[in-house]
Amino acid sequence: MKVLITGANGQLGRSLVELLTAMGIEVIPTGRDVMDITSWEQCREHFLQHRPDAVIHGAAYTAVDRAEAEPDEAYRVNAAGTRNVAAAAELVGAKCCVISTDYVFDGTASTPYREFDPPNPRTIYGRTKLAGEQLAASLSSRWFIVRTAWLYGPGGQNFVETMLKLAAEREHIDVVHDQLGCPTHTADLARFLAELIQTEHYGLYHAANAGSCSWYEFASAIMEETGLPAQIHPCTTAEFPRPAPRPGYSVLDAMAIRANGFAPLPPWRQGLKDYLAARRK
């Protein structure tokens, strides 16, 4: 099997390249310097040259706050870019796996979101990612859309690294306690994606580490697992206003994973332990 990965230099992309290569799968890693997803010509040429069996589309505009001031650029990458990747995949008969986000929901629920709950994004970022989902599903005949949340992994800036950095500088760290979600280790998500793309179980999936917590609880767990002395203090979202509103509740229910016979991702606390153990090595 030959798999093209967009966003190969990102945290999920790095985990995918490492895992798929170890599995003996031929990987075609692409970053912006190799294939600009906003260019149909470049996407078409790259797919025709390599003719992958599947693409995992992880490249995205992810600056949630900046997107509020740059909606055109966010749409160009997340909507038009996804359109180009999906159309190029269809051109060569490749499966198309698009990585999406919990931000397609408005965050007002009180029970975990299932795959077919109606999306209602409140941010430009969420709207552009939803537009990408819709374009991929309309242009590809062999599509997977995988929504995930609160990603952290090797080789990039993420919440875990931010907390570790702050813990080295401060005795007290304020972290919001009124946003609930699913912290997800990229290595665990990569294992699911590697299994998924080798099947014909097309459709929409929610894939995040099992369980849920607040950012405050996640930060507290990071301190507990590392033994760092910094004290984590709970605060409210209102105390840290941002240009783009954050979902108050974006816990994802992996109903499609269960229904299609896949193993659930490990609990979020185990994902954190595994990340920290790999980081120490």
Query: Of 113, 125, 205, 275, which residue is the catalytic one?
Result: 125
Is the sign of the CA dihedral 101, 18, 89, 73 positive or negative? Answer: positive
Active-site residue, 202 included: no
The answer to whether 6 and 55 have CB atoms below 8 angstroms apart is yes
Region for 93 from its dihedrals, namely left if φ exceeds 0, alpha if ψ lies in -120 to 50, beta otherwise: left
Angle 93-57-139 from CA coordinates, rounded to 5°: 45
List the end-to-end C-alpha distance of the chain, in Å, as a whole number.
30
* Residue 69, number of CB atoms within 10 A of its CB: 12
Residues 6+ apart with CB under 8 A from 92: 47, 48, 51, 52
H-run or E-run covering 69: none
- For 143, phi then psi, to 5°, come to -115, 145
Cα separation of 24 and 136, whole Å? 28
Catalytic residue positions, numbered? 125
